[in-house]
Amino acid sequence: MIHRHALGVFPNKPHTAFYEDGKLLMEQMVTRDGFDGAFTCLYYRLPPTDEFEVESIKLPGFCPVQPVPQQPLHRRHIKSQDMPHGGDFMTSRRTIALSQTLDIGICKPTDAPRHFFSNGDGDELYFVKAGSGVVESVYGLLEFREHDYILIPRSTPYRIHLNGHKGTMMVFEGRPKIGIPSEYRNKYGQITDYAPFSHRDFREPRELLRFDPARHGQAPYCIVAKMGNELTMHKYKHFPLDVAGWDGLVYPVAFNIHDFQPKTGLVHLPPTIHTTFSGQGFVICSFVPRLLDYHDKAIPCPYAHASVDMDEILYYVDGNFISRRGIGSESISLHPLGVTHGPHPGMYERSIGVRSTEELAVMCDSHYPFRLTMEADKVEDKAYHYSWVKLESPPNEPASTFTSK
């Protein structure tokens, strides 16, 4: 929901008769907040309502998801790099953390997608750690590449094709919404010039989805819908995404993290300046390569901090993680509220004089505490909490450029 976009054909005025090759098209309105929010009008060649069968299905680890029975309060390190690849974009998905308004999962597909998926619980935001491909949705084809965010509105039927044989993604499920912060827009709805991105950075679907028997197979055509902790497969006699055109604000977009425009201050600035997306009780932030603080006595490495109202999750993507031994690309740290956290021993001192960082990471701060799942428990580094006292850095170790949140 960034700005209005349109593809294909549609009538000059909504809710009027509109024909293609002499055949009346069926209008569908997709609305948010009842009829008060953003909306899109789509024009179908066949009514998207002819499902003839529904059945419950299960994808253990994603839906239903199983929280850990107990979660003593301490810092966590989830080694998502140890989670296996396999399955498609939907069947490979594993939820690792749950909160009242946000679930976080890891998706490591290797296979071509089989069915379409529609999340009725909330908006989804993928971060593509590795891989490229195309999101095929009722709104058309949206190409993506490595380090893209892909924002998919609630209840959008879609599936993900990879260009290669492997993909690695983090996926946020925000209930009910994920968007850009309202303070990044002026009163006219335009993204301001002091926001960390512009309208031009968001990529829209550029081509409509056309039914192709070789690509989409034969009936029944299936959409798997998620609501709560259940999945329901809807089977259609006709291809249910055959759209001649649409216009509106609701559709998927892509945004590459390297298009985020970081800010640097005289002294250390709080993570707020990295905010990229937000939702109810949470923000998602981008840490990208940048210059660091320019005061001659600045300490670029963050101080120890007790952010007493928020859990913090950090997904390490790229850069130099040498100051956090055991942390690598795809590591996920959870620093929960109620526990102070800060840099590993030696890092604070060694950051003085460092003028730039190559770190690349995605962070999520949430007012609502996270509960880990059994999928996270399988790959947790149980010694992480003690690494601040046990892993003193040797004095000759080179300075890290990873500043640690």
The footprint of Fe ion (CB under 5 A) covers 312, 405
As a whole number of angstroms, the distance between CA 195 and CA 186 comes to: 10
CB 282 → Fe ion: shortest distance, Å? 14
Among residues 88 and 312, whose Cβ is nearest to Fe ion? 312
CB of 342 to Fe ion, least distance (A): 8
- CB nearer Fe ion, residue 1 or residue 301: 301
Task: Tell me how far apart the alpha carbons of residues 294 and 265 are, in angstroms, rounded to a whole number.
Answer: 7
Which residue, 119 or 323, is less far from Fe ion as judged by CB?
323
Residue 307 in contact with residue 337, Cβ under 8 Å?
yes
CB of 321 to Fe ion, least distance (A): 16
386: three-class secondary structure by DSSP: helix
By C-beta, is 30 or 78 nearer to Fe ion?
Answer: 78
**How far are the Cα atoms of 133, 134, 209, 210, 252 from residue 159, in angstroms, in the given order?**
11, 9, 12, 14, 12
| Minimum separation from the CB atom of position 323 to Fe ion (A) | 15
For residue 384, the SS3 value is: helix
Least distance from C-beta 262 to Fe ion, angstroms?
17
Residue 345 tokens read as 């021993």
Q: Name the DSSP letter for residue 258.
A: G
Shortest Å distance, C-beta 351 to Fe ion: 15
Bridge partners, 6 (sequence order): 247
Cβ proximity to Fe ion, 214 vs 308, nearer residue: 308
Torsion over CA of 162, 163, 167 and 169, rounded to 10 degrees?
-60
Task: Give the H or E element holding residue 377.
Answer: helix 374-378
Nearer to Fe ion, 168 or 331 (CB): 331
C-beta closer to Fe ion: residue 29 or 306: 306
In 230-384, where do the E strands start and end? 230-236, 243-248, 253-256, 275-279, 282-287, 290-291, 311-318, 331-335, 356-357, 360-366, 371-372
> By C-beta, is 161 or 405 nearer to Fe ion?
405
Between CA 107 and CA 61 the distance in angstroms is 11
Write down the least CB distance from residue 257 to Fe ion, Å. Answer: 19
CA angle 19, 20, 26 (to 5 degrees): 60
Q: Least Å distance between CB 335 and Fe ion?
A: 6
Strands (E), 288-389: 290-291, 311-318, 331-335, 356-357, 360-366, 371-372
**Closest CB to Fe ion among 109 and 343?**
343
Minimum CB separation of residue 312 from Fe ion in Å reads 5
Amino acid at 74: H
Which residue's Cβ has the minimum distance to Fe ion? 405
